[in-house]
Amino acid sequence: MLARLGAQALKHTPRVAVQTHARRAISVQSLLHGSPEAKQEGDVQIQQHSRLVARGKYVHGFEVHKVKPDSVQEYKKAAEAYYTAIKDDPELHVKLTGSWETVVGDQDVFYHILEYENYSGYDKTTQKIKNSEHLNAYRKLIPYLTSRNQQLCQEFAFFPTVPPRAEGGIFELRTYQLHPGTLLQWEHTWRKGIEARRKFVEPVGAWFSQVGRLHQVHHMWQYPDLQSRKELRERAWVLDGWSETVSKTAEFSMLMDSIILEPLPFSPLK
């Protein structure tokens, strides 16, 4: 009934009003999608942009575990047993980039970033784990969790992940929920901005989502402590072009998150 009434009302609406309504709808869609090109081409363009900006050799799996507050210590032991075993297994084509615990942000949350040799490496690794003793080790994690999430990401070509190191301190993981269609603009903006900021601090890595929550960008930084982070970020504002990078980042993003992490003892990156 409502559909018929709507159709009848539209039938008697002047053509000018219909055209105005259509233009208004297009305008809204343009804003939501970030650009007219993105609006017209949709996900096809997103995939084309992904090929342009990605360092295509690797896929990174972000595994996020929310742990019961009274089970954190037991979880850490189980996590060490599982992630250490799979990274040391020569039959598995996977590397553990790092494992961290959130100290500022949602509490009792743990991040594990795994590196696979592209999607074929991910397929082979996960299949082998399902048919090995590693599956039992993973199942020992489950009773300590309240939720778990996984996302597959690729690296930005200009921002490759650093190799294992032990510099100490804290890590900051920044996550941006981009407007669909703005990935290429985000990459172009940060490609210019990051060269200036490298004078003060080296990035750990940057990734954009491919499977899971889409249109997300992550980048990670390492600092001696929170005070050093504050001072280094303040010094960055004097760099030529950095304020433009920050301004455009806000323009391209719907949501922004910053969390502070501490590496677990078995993390290769710490």
**Residue 222: φ, ψ to 5°:** -120, 135
* CA-based torsion, 79, 263, 105, 73: positive or negative: positive
pTM metric for this prediction: 0.80
Q: What is the mean pLDDT of residues 23-36?
A: 40
Residue 55: the pLDDT is 63
Look at residue 246 in the predicted model and tell me its pLDDT: 83
User: What confidence tier does 158 reach under pLDDT thresholds 50, 70, 90?
Assistant: confident
Strand ranges inside 86-243, DSSP E: 94-104, 109-116, 145-156, 170-178, 203-211, 216-223
Please tell me the predicted confidence (pLDDT) of residue 52: 62
Tens of pLDDT, residue by residue over 134-148, are 999 999 999 999 999
At 192-202, the pLDDT tens digits run 777 767 667 77
**In this structure, which topology does domain 64-150 adopt according to CATH?**
Alpha-Beta Plaits (3.30.70)
- 79 has a pLDDT exceeding 90: yes
Average pLDDT over residues 225-253: 86
Least confident of 14-23, 137-146, 259-268: 14-23
Range with the poorest average pLDDT among 73-77, 188-192, 198-202: 198-202
Residue-level pLDDT at 1: 39
Rg over alpha carbons for the chain, rounded to the nearest Å, is: 22
- CA separation for the pair 141, 75 (Å, rounded): 6
| Predicted local distance difference test score (pLDDT) of residue 54 | 58
Of 175, 151, 153, which is closest to residue 256 (Cα–Cα)? 175
Q: How far is CA 214 from CA 14, 43, 205, in A?
A: 40, 10, 18
Tell me the three state secondary structure of residue 97: strand
Chain-wide mean pLDDT for the chain? 83
Rounded CA gap, 245 and 154, in Å?
A: 22
- State yes or no: pLDDT of 167 exceeds 50: yes
pLDDT at residue 19 in the model: 43
Residue the block writes with tokens 């250490």: 84
Q: What is the pLDDT of residue 3?
A: 38
CA atoms within 13 A on the CB side of 197: 25
How many angstroms separate the CA atoms of 259 and 175, rounded?
9
Q: How confident is the model at residue 230 (pLDDT cuts 50, 70, 90)?
A: very high
| Mean pLDDT of the region 246-262 | 94
153-264 is classed CATH 3.30.70.100: yes
Instruction: Give the 3-state secondary structure of residue 252.
Output: helix
Mean pLDDT over 74-83 rounds to 98
What pLDDT score was predicted for residue 200? 74
Q: Which residues pair with 200 in a beta bridge?
A: none
pLDDT in tens, 47-60: 555 566 656 789 99
**pLDDT over 50 at 209, yes or no:** yes
Q: Where in the chain is the domain with CATH 3.30.70.100?
A: 153-264
